[in-house]
Amino acid sequence: MTRIRTFFKYNHGFTRIEASNILQEAFKSDNENPDAHFWIGKVLIELKQSEKACEHFVKAYEMGLTKAKDELINLCDYTEESFDEEE
């Protein structure tokens, strides 16, 4: 489990802004990790920053994190056909 996923699991006492700031700091040292992009995207959705969130979901998917596909379809106006073209 990455530091970012662990943080997200236990961040109940933080405001969304505090959570975002802490995750961004952790992300600086872990930016080649698809899980990092995925969880940053999740926080950005909570902060109503969907465009930035979608960028992170795309990066996570491109790095091989297949669960990011669901977020792209549900939140970022992607369709199943968008992925069929790539595969």
State pLDDT tens for residues 12-39.
566 767 776 777 776 777 778 888 888 8
Q: Is residue 2's pLDDT more than 60?
A: no
Q: Is 16 inside a domain boundary? A: yes
**Which residues does 2 contact at the CB level (< 8 Å), separation at least 6?**
30, 33, 35, 36, 39
- Tally the domains of the chain: 1
Q: Is 86 inside a domain boundary? A: no
**Rounded to an integer, what distance in angstroms lies between the CA atom of residue 71 and that of residue 68?**
5
Q: Is 62 inside a domain boundary? A: yes
State pLDDT tens for residues 54-80.
999 999 999 999 999 999 999 999 998
Q: Is 23 inside a domain boundary? A: yes
Full-model pTM:
0.73
Three-state SS for 30?
Answer: coil
Domain interval for residue 8: 3-76
**Rounded to an integer, what distance in angstroms lies between the CA atom of residue 76 and that of residue 63?**
17
Residue-wise burial string across 34-47, b where 16 or more C-beta atoms lie within 10 A, e elsewhere: bbbbbbbbbbbbee
Residues in the chain: 87
Q: Is 85 inside a domain boundary? A: no
Q: CATH number for the domain including 63?
A: 1.25.40.10
